[in-house]
A and B are shown apart, each in its own frame.
Chain A
Amino acid sequence: MGKGKSVLLIVLVTIVLAGLLFIGFTPSFAVGVSDFGSLLSNVDLGTDLGGGYTTVYYPEGVMSASDYAIEDDETQADYTQYKGIYLSNEIYDADTQQVTEEFSSEFDKAYAALSYRYEQMGFVNASVVKENDYTIRVTIPHLSDDTVLDTVFTQLSYSGSLHLSDSEITTSNAERRAEVWDSSLVSSAGVVSAGDQGYAVTINFTAEGRAKFAELTAGMVSSSDSSSSSSSSGTLYIYVGMNQIITVSVSEEMDQDTIYISGSFTTREAAQSIASTINSVLNEDDVFDLNINYSYLYEFAPTMGENTAAWVAAAVGALFLAAIIVSLVKFKGMGLAFTYGFLTWLLALLLCVSLIGGIVVDFGGVLMIVLSAAVMAGFSYYAYNNIRKEFSTGKTLTASIKSGFKKSIALTIDVHLVLALAALVLWLVSTGTVAFMSLIFLIGTVLSGLVTLLVTRFYLYMFMAQPKNKIAFCNFKREEAEDDE
């Protein structure tokens, strides 16, 4: 590489990296009426580092102490204190101190269903716990869009079975609730991205379900044709219990294994809450018949401490700085190439983590960032040590660099490939914390491989064009051969 070209590239790369570092890590500040937020501030955090939301679900017949306190005497007389809550006398016998068997059984089903639904949501560090035996506290991390929070908490609490109907189910046609769409008709529900329309809920039918759905939609289309004045014909209503969860316009007979419902889901969480709820009611044995509601929605601070995320970021920064300093001291010019490579890796990782929707960083994610940084630094040092060894055998510097990198390629690829495969499997199979930490590690490892094998090497050639004494630039010393006497 020529000196002129090298200078141009160094200037360009430095400007790009400096610009990205500014966008990536500068603390937020006001610009006119709006705020500048760095990529780092855009990273979604788990409940341990970023806090989240919590609420308590109260089943029908159970009242909180604060609600009880503001009720009139007549209502209060209908309730009996049980631990820190109040139970309706209809479900609780104060003499025997027992709740009715029916309530107990439905509550257990509701608890199991909610646990399943929240677990299916794939939240990091979410928890569903019993409080005072008959209430359910749910804790989730911050959502990408707070406006759907209420929708998510509400939809995930719906009781009853799944019904698909060509008209609204009201008291006049309540017999339709007997037509349950269970696992014999619907195999599962899921969520897919729908491009500009946000997200889509998918409903997968069994063979029997497909035929029944085709029949239902065919009937809707024909009834729509024959009576265009009917406002409800041509609209598919999907219910869980008494709650209408989706309405879909149907313009033709739909004879397909999977239907995609989009248009009203701007966030993945909103769509996933519908899918999770549908999945949990497919097995008739898991369906609960108990209304559960929440009164207050709370926000809480990070469970690992108020400023833990900032401290962790500072510690990670200090460690990365130490790695850069060590490389500069030990390898000088090669260390400079490593520094540029490391910053490229760091910025690429930050871009991915902050811009790819749905990635949440918690304690496990931080561990994976540091682990992939260690992999990257380890294999860069490994390559540099190989170059040093080659140089010590008497080869020229250019030949040593070529041969050193060549000797490192096999192991570098092997380790990166296996770790990336491992992260991919963990990501695909796991849920929650492990899934997110694996995804971060997968991105970190792939980037580490690319940077170690290609980018750092390119940077080294870019810098090597500049110094007169290239050997000293790499902190190498050529041992002089002793003159023969």
Chain B
Amino acid sequence: MSKVFSKKHLLACLVVSLVLIIAGAVVFGLLGFSKDSTVRDKISVEVNGYISLLSEESRGEFLDFCEDTLEADGYSVLEVNYNSEMSGFNDSVEFVIAADTDSYTDQQLSALAETLQTSINGLTDDRIENIESVVGFAPSVTYTVTQNNVFATYAWRAAVAGASVLVIAFIYAAIRFRPGMGLTVLVSGVHDVLLTLALIALLRIPVGVTLIAVAAFSLLVSIGLNLAVCGGMRKNFRLDEWKDIPSREAVTRSVKESRRIVFGAAVALAAFVILIGVVGAVLGTDLAFAMIGGLIAVIVSVYSALLLGPSVFAGIKARTDKRRAERARYDYVPEKERKKRGQETKQTADGAAE
């Protein structure tokens, strides 16, 4: 018997996954997902003024000046967002100084805005070329406390869509392949999405709305890879030479044959995810974090397609094969067939008598 897809192995896989999923759920329940810059609450200092009148170089110097002034006051700038006015020159620059809404008091923030305002008003062309034209139009400095909004409808609709997809995949695989394979695709799909989300929560990977995209990606990769493995098994198990092989052994051999297609697709996806992740890391954006989520989804799907899914199916196949063997041993014939045979025997006997 193959040790790879034994009952013990299945139990071990399920226990490990369950522990990780529960731990992830607990962390999510207590702390939520770690938020990236697109969805987190924040406190920022905002400078509004005719900054677009400056040359690109001077604008860069002006932004550096503002950043230095804020940092000189003891605040660290986490992010700078530049917004250009659509139909004018009154641009807006946002210096994010905290990733929550409780870090500083209103008094501290008012004082900070005032300090920056005074510093900007004191700038001259000697320091930054053409800055007096900006100062002349009375730039304003204020601070903003932003509370982000969770798009509940969006998340729920995606969850409902994901559940519908799993049901469709289950029905298709159960009818077209075997009921056991439908169950395997269903279990693997649920497992992969939950484990991916749990690992993202546990590893505190910062995510935003991209999390839902990663979950959908995980679901589709899982279905694709599991169907590829199940399709291979269906093809093999129809062949006569496979019929006498013990169920777990047969599953092991078939999965071995499917490894190439699974690894091929997984390596291509992982290569892309890593490549873009490196680009994200170099550019210093949230892209790198989103790609770590994508990489987790690929790894989890490969694990379930090559280990968990086959273990589930091996158990089901072992049970159905055993039942079939028992029926064969007792020369079990369905009732309809028995009646039909009885009639045929009677007719033959009648014919012989005649």
Contacts and interface: CB of A to CB of B under 8 A. Distances in A.
Interface of A: 48, 53-54, 64-66, 69-70, 81, 83-85, 115-116, 119, 125, 127-133, 137, 149, 296-301, 303-305, 307-308, 311-312, 315-316, 318-319, 322-323, 362-364, 366-368, 370-371, 373-375, 377-378, 381-382, 385, 407, 410-411, 414-415, 417-419, 421-423, 425-426, 428-434, 437-438, 441
B329 to A, nearest CB: 33
Given A374-B269, A414-B227, A431 B153 contact: yes
B261 A66 contact: no
A136 to B, nearest CB: 9
B2 interface: no
A361 to B, nearest CB: 12
B123 interface: no
Nearest to A66: B140
B212 A297 contact: no
Interface string B92-126: 10000000000000100110010000000000000
A48 B110 contact: no
A85 B146 CA distance: 12
29 contacts: A48-B38, A64-B142, A84-B46, A115-B151, A130-B147, A131-B145, A131-B146, A132-B144, A133-B145, A298-B85, A298-B91, A300-B82, A300-B84, A312-B287, A315-B279, A319-B268, A319-B272, A362-B213, A368-B220, A370-B268, A374-B265, A374-B269, A381-B260, A411-B235, A415-B228, A426-B161, A426-B165, A434-B161, A437-B216
A364 B38 contact: no
Given A298-B86, A300-B81, A422-B220, A381 B261 contact: yes
A304 B217 contact: no
A125 to B, nearest CB: 6
A294 to B, nearest CB: 11
Contacts of B164: 425, 429
Interface stretch (B166-174, B190-198, B341-349): B166-174
Interface string B256-271: 0000110011001101
A307 to B, nearest CB: 7
Contact of B279 (A69, A308, A362, A432): A308
Contacts of B216: 364, 426, 430, 434, 437-438
Nearest to A136: B149
Contacts of B271: 319, 322
B281 to A, nearest CB: 11
Contact of B284 (A81, A85, A305): A305
The 3 A-B residue pairs whose C-beta atoms are closest, nearest first, are A364-B213, A298-B83, A429-B161
A417 B284 CA distance: 39
A400 to B, nearest CB: 17
B231 A410 contact: yes
B142 A70 contact: no
B86 A299 contact: yes
Given A83-B106, A426-B165, A307 B283 contact: yes
Given A115-B151, A368-B220, 19 more contacts: A53-B86, A65-B48, A130-B146, A131-B144, A133-B147, A300-B81, A370-B272, A371-B217, A374-B269, A377-B264, A410-B235, A411-B228, A411-B232, A418-B227, A430-B154, A430-B158, A431-B157, A432-B154, A434-B213
B149 A115 contact: yes
A66 B48 CA distance: 7
Interface of B: 37-39, 46, 48, 81-88, 90-92, 106, 109-110, 113, 138, 140-149, 151, 153-154, 157-158, 160-162, 164-165, 168-169, 172-173, 176-177, 209-210, 212-214, 216-217, 219-221, 223-224, 227-228, 231-232, 235, 260-261, 264-265, 268-269, 271-272, 275-276, 279-280, 283-287, 290, 294
Given A299-B84, A438-B216, A418 B91 contact: no
B109 to A, nearest CB: 7
B210 to A, nearest CB: 5
B287 A305 contact: yes
A161 to B, nearest CB: 22
Contacts of A373: 268
A392 B173 CA distance: 31
Nearest to B279: A311
A219 B164 CA distance: 48
A431 B153 CA distance: 9
A339 to B, nearest CB: 16
A410 B230 CA distance: 12
A119 B153 contact: yes
Given A85-B142, A304-B280, A308-B285, A421 B213 contact: no
Contacts of A378: 228, 261, 264-265, 268
Which of B88, B138, B213 has its CB near the most chain A CB atoms (within 10 A)? B213
Contact of A299 (B83, B140, B162, B213): B83
Contacts of B81: 300
A425 B168 contact: yes
Contacts of B113: 84
Given A363-B213, A425-B164, A431-B154, A81 B92 contact: no
A331 to B, nearest CB: 13
A362 B286 CA distance: 13
A375 B221 CA distance: 9
A438 B144 CA distance: 36
Contacts of B227: 411, 414-415, 418
Contact of B209 (A69, A125, A299, A366): A125
B274 to A, nearest CB: 10
A39 B153 CA distance: 33
A432 B157 CA distance: 10
A430 B145 contact: no
A114 to B, nearest CB: 10
A128 B86 contact: no
A304 B228 CA distance: 34
Given A363-B210, A422-B223, A137 B146 contact: yes
B82 A301 contact: yes
A362 B210 CA distance: 9
A304 B287 contact: yes
Contacts of B212: 433-434
B140 A65 contact: yes
A323 B268 CA distance: 8
Which of B88, B268, B280 has its CB near the most chain A CB atoms (within 10 A)? B268
A200 B296 CA distance: 44
Contacts of B228: 378, 411, 415
Which of A307, A364, A367 has its CB near the most chain B CB atoms (within 10 A)? A367
A64 B141 CA distance: 10
Contacts of B269: 370-371, 374
B92 A414 contact: no
A295 to B, nearest CB: 9
A425 B161 contact: yes
Contacts of A85: 142
Contact of B92 (A53, A298, A319): A298
Contacts of B146: 129-131, 137
A65 B269 CA distance: 49
A375 B142 contact: no
Contacts of B82: 300-301
Nearest to B288: A304
Contact of A371 (B85, B91, B221, B276): B221
